[in-house]
Amino acid sequence: MKTFLKFFLITLFILGCENDKGEAITDGAVYTELNVRYDKTTNRTTGTAWFWQGNKNGRWLIFNPDATLEFQDNAMAYRPGDHSYFKELENLQTPAVFSFTDINNKVFVNSIDVKQIDFRPADDLDTIDTSQPLTVTWSGTVLENSEIVTLRIESISATQDSIGTSTVTFTNEKFSLLSGFKNSTVLMTIERSRSIALQQDLGGNGFIRAEYISQSKNVYLK
């Protein structure tokens, strides 16, 4: 009896999360999230897509196997672990283009620029004094609407989202959270992200997000 109940609950969960009926999922409204992430350390760009029925509280959706899902004109693979479609490519891919064609011949194309950011080569950031705030002026254009810059040291981050700015500050309060790393070498990155509405949605809205992660940098905290 316990085995049957366990099997029934698992089956119910699957049916509630994924559309495996082989139908055109875009006959109804579909909420969509698209993400493109470039990591300069690995020199790889990853495009990822998620789909939900109606809105994000709906069940996850899977396209019919005969549908076409592409990132930069390359077929995307389904990943059941997080119910996503993804494709990983070498080098920075910008503008990043997602193109989907369902079996009902509905076509949806969305794209976004992946804007670069990095530490300025002339700045001496090898050793960081944790007793005072650290302000970094990045290499790249100033912030535009819907953009965020994140300065990350290990797992602690400081953000900047003011339009027209080109600096981000890691405060004393942030450094206090890294007290256990004092007098040691840690990893630091600077990241740029932007989220905008889809140019062509699947009837249920959604957004597309671009992320650029700088080359990671080894810094000594004193």
Task: Please write the tens of the pLDDT for every residue from 26-53.
Answer: 999 999 999 999 999 999 999 999 999 9
Report d(CA 213, CA 39) in Å as an integer. Answer: 5
Alpha carbon distance 106, 201 (integer Å): 11
E strands within the chain? 30-39, 44-53, 68-71, 74-75, 77-79, 84-90, 96-101, 107-112, 118-119, 127-128, 134-139, 147-153, 156-160, 167-170, 184-197, 203-213, 217-221
Question: How high does pLDDT run on average in the chain?
Answer: 91
pLDDT value of residue 122: 84
Confidence check: pLDDT of 64 > 70:
yes
Closest CA to 95 of 222, 194, 220, 201: 194
Q: CA-CA distance, 208 to 113, in Å (whole number)? A: 10
**Sorting pLDDT into bands at 50, 70 and 90, what band is 12?**
very low
Reference 40, options 97, 94, 86; nearest CA is: 94
